[in-house]
Amino acid sequence: MFCTSCGTKISDTVNFCGSCGSQVKRAAAPPVQPQVVELRHLDPPAPSVEPQVGDLRHSICPWCGASVEGGQLSCSRCGATVDAPPISTASGWEKLPGRKDMAKLQFGDSFCQIEGKYVPVADVKLAGADSVYFTHHVLLWKDPQVNITTMSLAGGWKRLFAGMPLIMTQAQGPGHIAFSRDAPGEMIALPIQPGQAVDVREHLFMLATDKVAYEWFSTNIFYTTQSGSDNNERETHYPVGMFMDRFHAPQSPGLLILHASGNVFVRELTGNQTILVKPTSLIFKDPTVQMQLHFEHPRTGFSLWGSYWANRYMWLRLWGPGRVAVQSVFDRMEGENGNITNCSSATERRW
């Protein structure tokens, strides 16, 4: 830096020149520009939502489709756990929805409580105006004041269970009455709406409310085996039973309870969909689902006369539309390895 009067070099920090004493003149500093800050509108933060106990919103039952009020853990019509999502296999079968122990179902002014998991019990609290009907061998216990009478059926009763005649009975409230089948498995609660119906394989029925109508029909699924040359040695077998039970609700909603062995799987068949199941694994189907026998013969070798098919697999062929349910425990079919001489309508495949 230099003095503007005499030209002597001076320090940048002095205020007067050391040679001539003149006051040092410095250039004016540039004006400070004010900083412009852009103001933007910011939305206020969303208030935190605390979980509410007993949410009043409605939900839909994953099993029966009933509307369930908020805060309820189980459906009051079928007992299914509301907050449990349906579990499906990769092949398209759905497991029976979970049900909490002691789940309570309501029908009319009465209640049915499902107790236990391994061998479940249906504990029914009947109101005075309500009643249920059942087969006599599933009765576990009852209050003394519950009145039990024999139920008359159109066309008579010609059914056998373990060689003994089945007796359809009816219980009238008020009071408690409980039912169980002496086998492990799952209890299936099927609410039936007016106009709906379901076909059930025989000996799986537990109980139904008085609003559910009942009838039975021949399955027309059979095959005949012959062990010798004598016609008297022929025997006819019914792999899904000689009869099926049909339950429907003519006017008012009702409740049907079934018992299945092992685990239960349900599948919805479309109009052009077919499934092959073990005949004795069938639990129930919609009346729209058709059925017939199906035989498969895998080739086991060759002979002088061509291919040789020694083995045979027997299936129940089901096709939709409609819902089908099977159980994981099934019985061996009598005579399935015998010499079949006749059968009902059936399809066949050799491979």
Phi-psi group of 270: left, alpha or beta (phi > 0 → left; psi -120 to 50 → alpha; rest → beta): beta
Q: Residue 34 falls within a domain, yes or no?
A: no
Residue ranges of E strands in 45-120: 59-60, 67-68, 94-95, 103-107, 110-115
Total domain count, the chain: 1
CATH assignment at residue 307: 3.60.160.10
Q: Residue 209 falls within a domain, yes or no?
A: yes
Range of the domain at 289: 60-350
Q: Residue 214 falls within a domain, yes or no?
A: yes
Q: Residue 336 falls within a domain, yes or no?
A: yes
Task: Give pLDDT tens digits along the chain (351 positions).
Answer: 667 667 666 666 666 666 666 666 665 555 555 554 454 545 555 555 444 444 455 677 777 777 777 667 777 777 777 766 666 777 788 877 766 777 788 888 999 998 888 899 999 999 999 999 998 889 999 999 999 998 765 544 455 544 445 678 899 989 999 999 988 999 999 999 999 999 999 889 999 999 999 888 999 999 999 877 666 678 999 999 999 999 999 999 999 999 999 999 999 999 889 999 999 999 999 999 999 999 988 876 555 555 555 567 899 999 999 999 999 998 888 877 788 889 999 998 887
Radius of gyration of the chain (CA): 39
CA 341 vs CA 226, 236, 244: distances in Å: 7, 10, 24
In residues, how long is the chain? 351
